[in-house]
Structure 1
Amino acid sequence: MTDTPHAAPEAAPRVAVLGANGKMGRRAVEAVRAAEGLELAAELGSRDPLTAVVDAGATHVLDLTVPDASPDNVAFAVENGLHAVVGTSGWGPERRVALEARLAEHPGVGVLIAPNFSVGSVLASAFAAKAARWFESVELIELHHPAKLDAPSGTAVRTAELIGDARAAAGVGPSPDATERDPDGARGAVVNGVHVHAVRLRGLEAHQEVLLGGPGEQLVVRHDAFDRGAYMPGVVLGLRTVASRPGLTYGLDGYLDLG
């Protein structure tokens, strides 16, 4: 009697971390090392050549760099058949469209662009979008440390996009606002029809409030991240999942069963 041959176990993702010397990158390196089923293949700083990713035998790239460098990093990964998980901001609609065109030429490659890796933050944004159709008014406040480079934050933009889309689908009109003069922009940015206000303050890390108002009541959906450790479960989830989701996924909510 002969043994039935078994399929070889699937190889663990070999991860190259780009931006490994940054605060987020250092935490991600630790998380990849500690995560079951992941292997750390390379740690690259801003001066290291991207060819080191291929030389290290990486199968996945984790991009935690800066907005100016991220598109080239992801393009390199896609062209070399490597899956990519991206936590760098600056991926607006034009960049995403260009990336989707590139991915169409490499149909087996998966890319996740995550404006936020915190599962709690992703859930808060989803809850706010679900609730927004039931309230006349909605505004968003994001609060971060003063070293943050972009405003509004990528998370705030993503949340406003979800809220605006949900309200449009439900036929909800714009929030009431009688403002006629705002020469200094006190009413904040407008993203997908939602006013977004950015605060930069020493002592903060990453915080967001969605304020929803109706006659006689207010609902506040708030998320607080006090430490970069809050992002690591999402980073690991993304790295474990991205190979099974070819093409572009925008937002970690795409990997969560949120209905």
Structure 2
Amino acid sequence: MERSIRVAVIGASGRMGREVVKTVLRESDMELVAGVSRSSGPIDLGKMVGMDECGVLMSTDIEQALTESRPDVIVDFTGPQTAVSHTNLAIRLGIRPVMGTTGFTPQAIAELDKLCKESNIGGLIAPNFSIGAILMMRFAAQASKYFPNLEIIEYHGDQKLDAPSGTAVKTAELISEVREEIKQGNPKEEETIEGSRGGYYNGFRIHSVRLPGIFAQQEVIMAEPGQALKIRHDSYDRAAYMPGVAIAVRKVMTYSGMIYGFEHFID
């Protein structure tokens, strides 16, 4: 019998981190070996998420926790301000990073890919782990070949720090791979309120809505004379991302290099 995949959760006391802890504890082929949070005391991680005690206490020092627990994989949903440093630390320690946060430039991703390959480990940077959201991105990219006039509207809660969302940016990138840049709208249009037309990306616009009570939604609106097509995905709970996280933890054990985008794991 193969041994379980040893997993450490960074940002374990956060809302996404707690869901990851529960997921790892439930998966028969995974073992939770560490949890890290700067703002939490040494609580048992199982007890923290309302499950049976698991014998793993929260740590506040990421490097010490990873060095002592020796995980195979870290899952990190902390935030863009720590994403690159945490990823570099994991690779230096020979640990496979699964990063569910934004903040990586193309140059940083290329460098991390090189470091992963030199260490012969896999890694993943994924703006979104929802299988439904990945399908939405794919369908939008496919449809943009026939409906090149489009706009993206994404909706999140008012505490989200980045705009547009990583999912919107990834959607735009996938669309731009198959759609030539065209200038949409009236060439003489003028914003009477700055920013009212949204952010410009490769000829189309991205709009970010931030309101309390909203979780995560995105729609891609496409139109041609006489018709319109809307492709939309709605997430209502963080549990929507967990099947994707479990797939990612298993997949990064099987290859070398840093992959950007969970869509590469969906056939």
The TM-score normalised by the length of structure 2 is 0.87
Question: For residues 80-105 of structure 1, what are the alpha-carbon distances to aligned partners after superposition, in whole Å with 9 as ceiling and x for unaligned?
Answer: 11111110111221321221232242
Structure 1 match to 2:187: 178
User: 1:69 deviation in Å?
Assistant: 0.9
Q: Does 1:54 align with 2:63?
A: no
Would the aligned equivalents of 2:218 and 2:233 in 1 still touch at CA under 8 Å? yes
Q: Does structure 2 retain, via aligned residues, the 8 Å contact 1:15–1:62? A: yes
Q: CA deviation at 1:256?
A: 0.9
Residue 33 of structure 2 corresponds to: 41
Distance across 2 between alignment mates of 1:15 and 1:179: 55
- Of the candidates 251, 254, 259, which is equivalent to residue 249 of structure 1? 259
Tell me which residue corresponds to 1:204.
214
Distance 1:179 1:145, change over 3 A: farther
CA distance, structure 2, for counterparts of residue 92 and residue 174 of structure 1: 25
Which shows bigger deviation, 112-121 or 244-253? 244-253
Question: Considering only aligned residues, what root-mean-square deviation do their CA atoms show, in Å?
Answer: 1.5
Q: Which residue of 2 aligns with 1:160?
A: 172
* Paired residues of 1:136 and 1:175 also in contact (CA < 8 A): no
Q: 1:136 to 1:159 in 2, by over 3 A?
A: closer
Instruction: Name whichever of 248-257 and 43-52 sits farther off.
Output: 43-52
Aligned in 2, Cα 1:102/1:135: closer, same or farther, shift over 3 Å? same
2: distance between equivalents of 1:33 and 1:200? 33
If the length of structure 1 is used for normalisation, what is the TM-score? 0.90
Letter in structure 2 aligned against 1:246: S
Q: What fraction of aligned residue pairs are identical, expressed as a percent?
A: 41
1:227 positional shift:
0.5
**Aligned length in residues:** 245
Q: Does 1:147 align with 2:159?
A: yes
Note if 1:84 corresponds to 2:97: yes
Report if the CA contact (8 A) 1:50-1:73 is conserved. no
Pair 1:96-2:105 in alignment = no
Residue 43 of structure 2 aligns with which residue? none
1:14 corresponds in structure 2 to 6
Report the Cα distance in structure 2 between the residues aligned to 1:57 and 1:136, rounded to whole angstroms: 48
Q: Distance in 2 between matches of 1:19 and 1:76?
A: 15
Could you tell me how far 1:179 is from its partner in structure 2? 4.7
Partner SS state of residue 80, structure 2: coil
Q: Structure 1, residues 206-235: CA drift from partner, whole Å, max 9, x if none?
A: 000000111100000000001101011111
Question: Does residue 128 of the first structure (1) align with residue 120 of the second (2)?
Answer: no
Shift of 1:76: 1.1
Q: Mind listing any 5+ residue stretches in structure 1 that lack a counterpart?
A: 1-8
Using the alignment, how far apart are the partners of 2:135 and 2:202 within structure 1?
20
- Post-superposition CA distance 1:228-248 (Å, at most 9, x none): 010111111100111112101
CA change 1:226–1:59 in 2 (3 A) is: same
Residue 45 of structure 1: CA displacement? 0.7
Q: 2:88 aligns with which of 53, 75, 97?
A: 75
